[in-house]
């Protein structure tokens, strides 16, 4: 394969640039991945039943249901429907929400920003908690600090985000009365946010635009609990990864060499050993983004954070399954692209990845 590409001039150029070749091959891999996910979602939804029976089953007489099924074309051969569906997707049509009476693409544009904002804030929490604790555990390996941190990370992992969310609400809202229990901003300040010059939908950015400390404070107060609830789940993974990687890096020869040169332990931990220990974090980021999107559904539902995840659970309640399917497909696209970016970053940083497989 390599020789064949290498025979043309362009091929020669590409084969000399292993990184570029990696990017191109990895990009092309998105297509089968997406195709598989779309097919899996489609066949799960269709082979086990049709959306109309799932939504209306028991609510309408069977004859009416049959008519609806026929009108929507769900009684045609499954492969005809499948290719029709693929065609729709290809033209950017993710279906329509019956409950909200808008196309899924519009729904995603309206509510997606809230989810992205929550995910970014949660990621900040995850790094802020995960990195120092992971370092601490590796530094004091097998001592009480390490034991405490490890048990904490197991605890974070074992705690369902919605239960953690409920506990945080119970403590900080009901008992202490410090933070608001739900929503993204107090209703009386909502209008100020939409009146800024460049409304982005990201309330943190919009609130900074208003320059009003009351609005900024209110937006951040609303964001703290959801971000912590979602962030701690990811933090648990970061702690474990950083700890394990730091420990194995700390026992390598070059660290030993640094020690013999008299480099301080602090510098060894923070510079020499820490940087290579970060690479595995990047490689799991794709996985973490996927987990976070699933976590966002639960967190948003717990805190009534009106993002895509909250809408998804509302649509589930309303049995609007075509819209659910559209959102799930969209998330599949996000995850595939995120994984692509993560893999490219990893290959850029660590040349070994390019030659793997």
Partner 1 sequence: MSRLGNLPIIKHIRQSVGLQCFMLITGLAIVVLFVLTAIFAPLIAPYGFSQIKDASGVSFGAQKEPSAEHIWGTTVGGLDVFSRVIWGAQTALISILVAVIASSILGILLGLVSGYFGGKVDRVLVVIADAIYSFPSLLLAILLAIMINSTGGNAFAGILAAGISITVVFVPQYFRVIRSEVLRIKSEAFVESAKAIHAPITRILFKHVLRNSTRTLPIVITMNAAEAILTLAALGFLGMGIEPSSASEWGYDLNRAVSDVTSNILWTSIFPGAAIVLVVIGVTLLGEGLNDLSDPRLRIRRKPKAFDGTLPDDGEVKHD
| Contact track, partner 1, 4-43, x by CB under 8 A | -------------------------x--xx--xx--xx--
Reference 292, options 151, 120, 103, 142; nearest CA is 120
**Closest separation in Å from C-beta 277 to partner 1:** 13
| Interface with partner 1: number of residues (CB under 8 A) | 63
| Alpha carbons 66 and 43: distance in angstroms, whole number | 20
DSSP structure class, residue 142: T
* d(C-alpha 95, C-alpha 327), whole Å: 9
Tell the residue number behind the tokens 């120092």, with chain if given: 132
Q: Which two tokens stand for residue 121?
A: 């804030």
Dihedral sign computed on CA atoms, order 153, 159, 161, 167: negative
Which residues inside 281-300 make contact with partner 1, applying CB under 8 A? Answer: 286-287, 290-291, 293-294, 297-298
Which residues make Cβ contacts (< 8 Å) with residue 300, sequence separation at least 6?
114, 115, 118, 226, 306, 307, 308, 309, 310, 313
- Measured from the CB of residue 44, what is the shortest distance to partner 1 in angstroms? 5
- Of the ranges 143-151, 185-193, 275-283, 344-352, which one interacts with partner 1 (CB under 8 A)? 143-151
Q: Is 115 in the site for partner 1 (CB under 8 A)?
A: no
The answer to whether 143 contacts partner 1 (rule: CB under 8 A) is yes
CA–CA–CA angle 217, 222, 226 (5° rounding): 140
Site for partner 1 (CB under 8 A): which residue of 120, 170, 178, 257? 170
Select the residue interacting with partner 1 from 18, 62, 200, 248 (CB under 8 A): 248
Q: Is 160 in the site for partner 1 (CB under 8 A)?
A: yes
| R_g of the chain computed on alpha carbons | 25
> CB of 321 within 8 A of CB of 97?
no
Q: Let me know how long the chain is.
A: 357
Least Å distance between CB 238 and partner 1?
16
Q: For partner 1, which is the closer residue by CB, 66 or 212?
A: 66
Q: Which of 44, 120, 178, 257 binds partner 1 (CB under 8 A)?
A: 44
Structure-token pair, residue 145: 């600090």
C-beta separation of 329 from 339 below 8 A: no
Task: Give the footprint of partner 1 on this chain (CB under 8 A).
Answer: 29, 32-33, 36-37, 40-41, 44-45, 48-49, 53-54, 57, 141-144, 146-147, 150, 154-155, 157-160, 162-163, 166-167, 169-170, 173-175, 181, 244, 247-248, 251, 286-287, 290-291, 293-294, 297-298, 301-302, 313, 316-317, 321, 324-325, 328, 331-332, 335-336, 339
């Amino acid at each position: 394969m390599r020789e064949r590409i290498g025979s043309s001039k362009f091929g020669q150029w590409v084969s000399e640039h292993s990184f570029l070749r990696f990017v191109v091959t990895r990009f092309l891999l998105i297509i089968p991945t997406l195709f598989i996910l779309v097919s899996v979602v489609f066949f799960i939804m269709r082979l086990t039943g049709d959306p109309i029976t799932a939504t209306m089953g028991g609510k309408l007489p069977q004859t009416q249901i049959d008519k609806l099924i026929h009108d929507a074309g769900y009684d045609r051969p499954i492969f005809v429907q499948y290719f029709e569906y693929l065609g729709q997707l290809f033209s950017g049509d993710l279906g329509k929400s019956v409950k909200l009476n808008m196309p899924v693409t519009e729904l995603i544009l309206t509510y997606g920003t809230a989810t992205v904002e929550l995910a970014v804030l949660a990621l900040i929490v995850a790094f802020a908690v995960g990195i120092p604790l992971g370092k601490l555990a590796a530094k004091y390996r097998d001592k009480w600090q390490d034991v405490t941190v490890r048990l904490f990370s197991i605890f974070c992992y074992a705690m369902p985000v919605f239960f953690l969310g409920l506990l945080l609400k119970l403590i900080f809202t009901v008992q202490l009365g410090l933070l608001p229990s739900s929503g993204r901003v107090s209703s009386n300040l909502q209008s100020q946010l939409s009146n800024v010059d460049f409304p982005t939908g990201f309330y943190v950015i919009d609130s900074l635009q208003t320059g009003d400390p009351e609005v900024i404070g209110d937006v951040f107060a609303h964001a703290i609990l959801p971000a912590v609830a979602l962030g701690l789940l990811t933090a648990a993974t970061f702690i474990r990864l950083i700890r394990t990687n730091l420990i194995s890096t700390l026992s390598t020869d070059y660290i030993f060499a640094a020690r013999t040169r008299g480099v301080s332990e602090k510098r060894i931990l923070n510079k020499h050993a820490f940087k290579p220990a970060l690479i595995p974090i990047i490689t799991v980021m794709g996985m973490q983004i996927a987990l976070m999107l699933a976590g966002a559904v639960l967190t948003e539902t717990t805190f009534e954070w009106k993002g895509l995840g909250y809408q998804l659970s509302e649509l589930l309640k309303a049995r609007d399954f075509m819209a659910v399917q559209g959102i799930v497909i969209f998330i599949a696209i996000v995850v595939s692209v995120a994984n692509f970016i993560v893999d490219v970053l990893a290959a850029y940083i660590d040349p070994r990845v390019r030659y793997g497989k």
